[in-house]
Amino acid sequence: MEKVKVGLVGCGVIADNAYLPGIVKMEKADLVAVCDLVEERAKAASEKFNVPQVYTDLDEMLEKSGLELLVNTTHIQAHYEVNLKALQAGKHVYSEKSMTNTVEEATTLIEEAKKRNLKLGAAAATMLSSVNQRIKELIQEGAIGKVAFAKSRNSHEGAAYFPYWATDPTWFYKPGGGPMLDLAVYGLHTLTGILGPARRVTCFSGISDPVRYVRGGPYKGKRIDVEMDDSTLVMLDFGNATFAFVDGTFCVRAATGPSLEIYGSKGTISIPGQREGPPFRLYREELDLGIRGWTEPELPERDNWFTGAVAHMIDCILEDKEPVVSAEHARHVIEIMTKCYDAAREGRTVELETTF
């Protein structure tokens, strides 16, 4: 079986808990190298997952390891530089969210990948989820009629409040981080993946809790002065009187209720907020057909679209097809996230220019 040589950079919490355990089990992946600025983390990942090559310098790994696909799980502020270096070195790239912090940087990466005939994919890979794919099909089939509005809940308390976080979470609260790029990005990818590109955005945003203290782990007790908005509420206009509400905050200690609901002229689609229970529920009301009530469509178990995205990228490389987790889709979401801050600061609705 033909395999793709994979290297991963950024051996932090997400790499250790999600990406590396999944990649080592993939039949078409040959995990050849890991890299991290902190040598102990890179060595620990190498030993835990039996990776033959260990690096602390990205340039050296790109030059010497023989990798074909780079998986970028560094912190958000480093994504653009790492992604660009990998593409310029002739490597395919899958980047954790957000791929960059600006539309201009995203366009540079897209053009660099096209120029070199490389695959460029980006999280959040929510549209690889069979649940979201089925919901999109139902809406396109008219199962809930004309969509009026949707609401997406994405917030939690922030990494500093987690009982245990293995690395320093300070960067989440600094410029280039924040809950929009860390959390709301999931809901924005899902909504735009299901409903299509948004046209306008308006927003309220600010710093609700200006000082945080790390609750647990090796950095327990560290004070963090919050410099990036930690509470952001977004409204999107998709055209044709179809709207959506998205929250992206580090201010939710606990919540109940659905993580996503879409309301249409004939019914509602609801995804539960907890992982137990049905993947989603569908309400339809068509009295002439004798239909009125909730149903629970049967689907496979919920997908792990973190590592599923890497497997998808490998298939795209081997079969020379375009990724569902496209950089163009990621760029559109990046535009929403950057312009929502403009909208909040200026107190107006801002037009969006990108599409996918």
Locate 132 and state its tokens: 């979201």
Residue 255: which residues within 8 A CB-CB, separation 6 or more? 153, 155, 273
Split at pLDDT 50, 70, 90, the class of 296 is confident
> Which residue is it, tokens 């535009």?
335
Residue 116 in contact with residue 110, Cβ under 8 Å?
no
Report strand pairing: 120-122 vs 92-95: parallel
**Residue 93: left if φ>0, alpha if ψ -120 to 50, beta else—which one?**
beta
Listed by start position, the domains of the chain span 4-125+305-323, 129-302+335-351
Q: Give the sign of the dihedral formed by CA 46, CA 49, CA 51, CA 56.
A: negative
The answer to whether the peptide bond before residue 124 is cis (omega within 30 degrees of 0) is yes
Confidence (pTM)? 0.94
What is the CATH architecture assignment of 4-125+305-323?
3-Layer(aba) Sandwich (3.40)
Q: What is the pLDDT of residues 125-170, one digit of tens each?
A: 999 999 999 999 999 999 999 999 999 999 999 999 999 888 899 9
CATH code for the part of the protein at 129-302+335-351: 3.30.360.10
Please give the average per-residue pLDDT across 246-265, as a whole number: 95
Residue 286 pLDDT more than 90?
Answer: no
Task: Give burial (CB, 10 Å; 0-12/13-18/19+) of 257.
Answer: exposed
* 274 vs 140, residue with greater confidence: 140
Residue 104: which residues within 8 A CB-CB, separation 6 or more? none
Q: What is the pLDDT of residues 165-222, one digit of tens each?
A: 888 999 999 999 999 999 999 999 999 999 999 999 999 999 999 999 999 999 999 9
Task: Looking at the chain, list the stretches that DSSP marks H as alpha helix, in order from N- to C-terminal side.
Answer: 13-14, 20-23, 39-49, 58-64, 79-88, 103-115, 130-140, 179, 185-195, 305-319, 327-346
HEC per residue, 137-152: HHHHCCCCCCEEEEEE
**Cα separation, 149 vs 237, whole angstroms:** 9
Locate 121 and state its tokens: 């994919």
Please report, as a single letter, which amino acid is at residue 96.
Answer: E
Residue 28 in contact with residue 2, Cβ under 8 Å?
yes
Give percent of the chain above pLDDT 70: 97
Residue 304 pLDDT more than 80?
Answer: no
What is the chain's mean pLDDT, rounded? 94
Q: What is the pLDDT of residues 328-343, one digit of tens each?
A: 999 999 999 999 999 9
Split at pLDDT 50, 70, 90, the class of 305 is confident
pLDDT reported for residue 275:
65
